[in-house]
Amino acid sequence: MRPIIPDYLAEALGDVESDRSGEPAGYIPELAAADPERLGVAFAMTDGEVYGAGDIDMEFTIQSISKPFVYALALSDRGFGPVLAKVGVEPSGEAFNEISLESDTGRPLNPMINAGAITVHSLAGAKDLNPTERVEHVLHGLSAFAGRRLRMDEAVCASEMEHAHRNLAIAHMLRSHDVLTQDPRAVVDGYTRQCSVLVTTRDLAMMAATLANRGTNPLSGKQVVPEPVVRQVLSVMFSCGMYDAAGDWATQVGIPAKSGVAGGLIGALPGQIGIATFSPRLDVHGNSVRGVSLFERFSSDMGLHVM
Ligand code: DON
């Protein structure tokens, strides 16, 4: 007998395939050159089984989907107190690259926006790591979430760094408030490297399944981060993961989620499943158009809304 899930997933892809609305991210030239027709979906169960359809083994850069995972690493490495002292947990209701700092302290509102994620990058690993060691620590951690050794796309990283003026400006603001204590350029370089890690849709589903599986990677059986950290991360993904579309997402889809400007999108349902989609055309919020449609359908078809 043929398994039901791959047929269901192929049908779901077929139904969104003709939607050509949105544009690939234009502000990173290497991403603007990506093939906009790519489309994939993967479901990773908490027992390690993966079901997929479409381009699930094609690599693309993780971009902002790295943010919840590096937040998890920083919380594990430094503890909740030091991280929460530097980065809040309130939705900004603004775009991912808005400055969004608390006016009195300069603390970024949450770890999913760039200001928060740049700060979180600086908090990953031990305090005394140099920038190269910190990037290696982040790469090692992201690989543990995926259950395989990941690598970086140097061309995408260089392409973004050439146009990183906004992130550099944010980092200098953070440094002026002493939220960042390291060299702002080195932190933005490390954060951009973090965003340039190559993943497949299958990897992203497994990373999401590691969160769904309360921090234990279903393939390796390794506890990557402790359970209280996962609870914190999924809560912040629920309220802030989709930026200024977070409210629509919470009501219509109702799954803790995170998007990336290369076209990836993940959702993690505690105790059940990690879902990932890939389609490079983005809406005005920087979220994948066909990815959002697919998640809306999965949530409605399978009753995945957490409420
Ligand atoms: O900081 C940036 O601009 C990117 N490297 C990551 C942004 C991103 O993926 C936003 N998410 N939709």
307 within a domain of the structure (yes/no): no
Protein residue closest via CA to atom 1 of ligand 1 = 114
191 annotated among ligand-binding-site residues: yes
For residue 181, the domain's CATH number is 3.40.710.10
Ligand 1 in reach of 52 Cβ (< 6 A) = no
Q: What is the pLDDT of residue 2?
A: 52
Final residue belonging to a domain, choices 146, 166, 195:
195
Q: What is the pLDDT of residue 218?
A: 97
- Is 156 in the same domain as 191? yes
In this structure, what token pair is assigned to residue 248? Answer: 């629509």
In this structure, what token pair is assigned to residue 285? Answer: 């919020």
Structural domains of the chain, count? 2
d(CA 35, CA 279): 9
Ligand 1 in reach of 201 Cβ (< 6 A) = no
- Is 53 in the same domain as 31? yes
98 annotated among ligand-binding-site residues: no
Ligand 1 in reach of 265 Cβ (< 6 A) = no
User: What SS3 state is found at 100?
Assistant: coil
- Is 174 in the same domain as 91? yes
Q: How far is the CA of 64 from the centre of ligand 1 (A)?
A: 5
Domain that holds residue 164: 66-195
- Sign for the CA dihedral angle at 247, 249, 250, 255 comes to negative
Final residue belonging to a domain, choices 195, 226, 243:
195
**Ligand 1 atom at shortest distance from the alpha carbon of 286:** 12
94 within a domain of the structure (yes/no): yes
- Is 99 in the same domain as 209? no
What are the start-end ranges of the H helices in 100-226? 114-123, 131-146, 154-161, 165-176, 184-195, 201-212
In this structure, what token pair is assigned to residue 244? Answer: 């200024």
User: What SS3 state is found at 94?
Assistant: coil
Say which residue the tokens 């390690």 belong to: 48
Please give the helix or strand (H or E) that residue 43 lies within, else none: strand 40-45
| Residue 47: count of CB within 10 angstroms of its CB | 8
114 annotated among ligand-binding-site residues: yes
- Is 239 in the same domain as 175? no
**Ligand 1 atom at shortest distance from the alpha carbon of 63:** 9
Q: How far is the CA of 102 from the centre of ligand 1 (A)?
A: 21
Q: What is the pLDDT of residue 31?
A: 87
- pLDDT less than 70: residues of the chain: 1-3
37 annotated among ligand-binding-site residues: no
Final residue belonging to a domain, choices 195, 229, 255:
195
d(CA 286, CA 71): 20
Q: What is the pLDDT of residue 163?
A: 93
**Ligand 1 atom at shortest distance from the alpha carbon of 164:** 3
Report phi then psi at 75, rounded to 5.
-65, -40
- The ipTM, to two decimals, is 0.98
- Is 154 in the same domain as 76? yes
Q: Which amino acid is at 94?
A: E
**Ligand 1 atom at shortest distance from the alpha carbon of 192:** 5
- Is 23 in the same domain as 114? no
Q: How far is the CA of 97 from the centre of ligand 1 (A)?
A: 8
As a whole number, the mean pLDDT across the chain is: 96
88 within a domain of the structure (yes/no): yes
In this structure, what token pair is assigned to residue 160? Answer: 């973004």
Please give the helix or strand (H or E) that residue 53 lies within, else none: strand 50-54
What pLDDT, in 10s, does the model give residues 40-60? 999 999 999 999 999 999 999
CB distance 39 to 52 below 8 Å: no
| Residue 247: count of CB within 10 angstroms of its CB | 12
Ligand 1 in reach of 61 Cβ (< 6 A) = no
- Is 150 in the same domain as 210? no
Q: What is the pLDDT of residue 181?
A: 96
Q: How far is the CA of 221 from the centre of ligand 1 (A)?
A: 30
Q: What is the pLDDT of residue 3?
A: 63
In this structure, what token pair is assigned to residue 133? Answer: 């060691």
